[in-house]
Amino acid sequence: MVNVLTVTVLDCNDRPSAIFFNSSLSVHDNTSYKVVIPENSPSGTSLTNLSVVDEDVGQKHKCTLREGGSYFNINSVSKSSSEIRVKRDAILNYESHLASPITVSVECQGNGSPPYSVQRNFIVQLSDVNEAPFDISLNSSTVVEENVHVGYVIGYLTCNDSDIGQSHVFTVTGNYSSVFQATSSNYLIVKDPSFLNYEVLYPFTELTVTIRATDQPANGTGPPLDVISDFKINVTDVNEAPDDIRLIPENVTVPENVSIGYCLAQVTSRNPEQWQTVAYTALNYRDLFSIEDKCKDNSSSVSQGDSNLPYLTVKSHLSYDDYIIRGYQILIKAEDNGIPPRAFNGTVKVHVTKVDPCPWSTCHVDATCSRVNWQNYTCACNDGFSGDGASTALK
Ligand SMILES: [Ca+2]
Ligand SMILES: [Ca+2]
Ligand SMILES: [Ca+2]
Ligand SMILES: [Ca+2]
């Protein structure tokens, strides 16, 4: 008798044995599976594909992230493979993960009974990407006086950068790149002080200076990046002394018998602050000349001049005889009413011409007139004549 033993092999569910990862970003080392992804990768960037190894043909597997779900999500591609991608709004910041790489833990569960699952971990390491600097700041009062020297330090420049340890090169660009300069030690200095002239700039004394900061990235992290910012720098006034004291008209020539009170010329000067008042004082020949606010002698052609300018006036007779160089160099002080007041001394010239009374002398025709001074003369009889000169007689 033959007994037939029929053995029916019943399928029973086996555990999935492994998860295989497959990524172009993967780096294998001896101990673990690791994926390196650039920081700031946008959402949807593929991190890795994975497939579940299971002897039970035809089973489906549902994979979920046990760890790493803050940064990534996982989606089914087919019944036993899935893809992990960067999640929306995930912040993948190299600098904040330097000391703590991201661990991703995947668990895949089959649809058999009982529902066995398999779990694998891997490491996501972020690689550094250069990020643009931001927030340039100028550590200063942003006020500069006019007339400062070359190299005057306006302030110190700094900026922020997400990249750790980067240094930055600052440059002045735009309208005022010839006026200001950023040094290699990050000071903003004055390059051309002649531009910082309050009176020339007025009323546009607030300058908008544009500064660029360029970073210096580590090799392989991308090109240098920059940021620009505008800074307002106010040029403030400094009182400057008047200079260039002169007469109007410039060349003054008067006869020695000019009358007392005669207005020779008006006195002026160049004062950078044109809104100020300038006071003039004669410092020499004060017995001969005075400087008056008004001209009282209408006989002078300058008497109707600029009412804001004072008059150089004859105070006593200008004797040609007493004065060998026939002119006066009058030292005048011009002082403004700025705070503090500033003064300057300058010289003006007045020429005096000789007056000869002989043309209208009463000397006799047979006498010779000689000038004594501007109003006196002597009459001397010519040879062959005698008398007092006013009347003569033949000898
Ligand atoms: Ca970076
Ligand atoms: Ca940077
Ligand atoms: Ca000034
Ligand atoms: Ca002044």
pLDDT at position 250: 93
| Alpha carbon distance 269, 64 (integer Å) | 89
Distance 139 CA to ligand 1 centre (A): 26
Q: pLDDT tens per residue, the chain (395 residues)? A: 667 878 776 667 778 888 999 888 877 665 678 999 999 999 999 999 999 988 877 788 999 999 999 999 999 998 889 999 999 999 999 999 988 899 999 999 988 888 899 999 999 999 999 999 999 999 987 899 999 999 999 999 999 999 999 999 999 999 999 999 999 999 999 999 999 999 999 999 999 999 999 999 999 999 999 999 999 999 999 999 999 999 999 999 999 889 999 999 999 999 999 999 999 999 999 999 999 999 998 888 888 888 899 999 999 988 777 655 578 999 999 999 999 999 999 999 999 988 899 999 999 999 999 999 888 999 999 999 988 888 777 77
What spacing in Å lies between the alpha carbon of 241 and ligand 4's midpoint? 5
| Pairwise CA distance, residues 61 & 20, whole Å | 13
Q: How far apart are the CA of 268 and the centre of ligand 4, in A?
A: 13
Closest ligand to 276 CA? 4
For residues 117 and 150, the answer to whether their CB atoms sit within 8 Å is no
Nearest ligand to residue 238 Cα: 3
Output the CA 162–ligand 1 centroid distance in Å. Answer: 6
| C-alpha to C-alpha distance for 148 and 169, rounded to whole angstroms | 25
Q: Say which ligand is closest to the CA of 221.
A: 1
The CA angle 3-7-12, to the nearest 5 degrees, is 165
Torsion of CA 79, 82, 88, 92, to 10 degrees: 170
132 closest CA partner among 227, 230, 212:
227
Token pair in block for residue 179:
């006026």
**Ligand 3 centre distance from Cα of residue 199 (Å):** 6
CA of residue 272 to ligand 4 center, whole Å = 6
Which pLDDT score is estimated for 322?
A: 64
CA of 130 to the centre of ligand 1 (A): 5
Residue 50 to residue 33: CA distance in whole angstroms:
12
Give pLDDT, residue 30: 56
How close is the Cα of 193 to the center of ligand 4, in Å? 18
- Ligand nearest the Cα of residue 97 is 1
Cα–Cα distance for residue pair 285/353, rounded to 1 Å? 18
Give residues with Cβ within 8 angstroms of 188, minimum separation 6: 138, 140, 153, 154, 155, 156, 157, 170, 172, 180, 181, 182, 209, 211
Q: Which ligand is nearest to the CA of 270?
A: 4
pLDDT number for residue 357? 92
- Looking up tokens 């090109």 gives 223
C-alpha 38 to ligand 1 mean position (Å):
9
- Residues, CB within 5 angstroms of ligand 2 (ion): 130-131, 161, 163, 166, 215
Ligand number, closest to the Cα atom of 133: 2
* Contact of 207 with 179, CB cutoff 8 Å: yes
**131: CA distance to ligand 2 center in Å?**
4
Per-residue model confidence (pLDDT) at position 99: 85
* Closest ligand (CA of 271): 4
CA distance 95 to 131: 11
Distance from the CA of 42 to the center of ligand 4, in angstroms?
63
Which pLDDT belongs to residue 1? 64
Residue showing tokens 């700039």:
201
User: How far, in Å, from the CA of 180 to the mean position of ligand 3?
Assistant: 20
CA of 120 to the centre of ligand 1 (A): 29
Q: How far is 52 from 118, CA to CA, in rounded Å?
A: 8
Distance 328 CA to ligand 1 centre (A): 79
Distance CA 392, CA 386 (A): 5
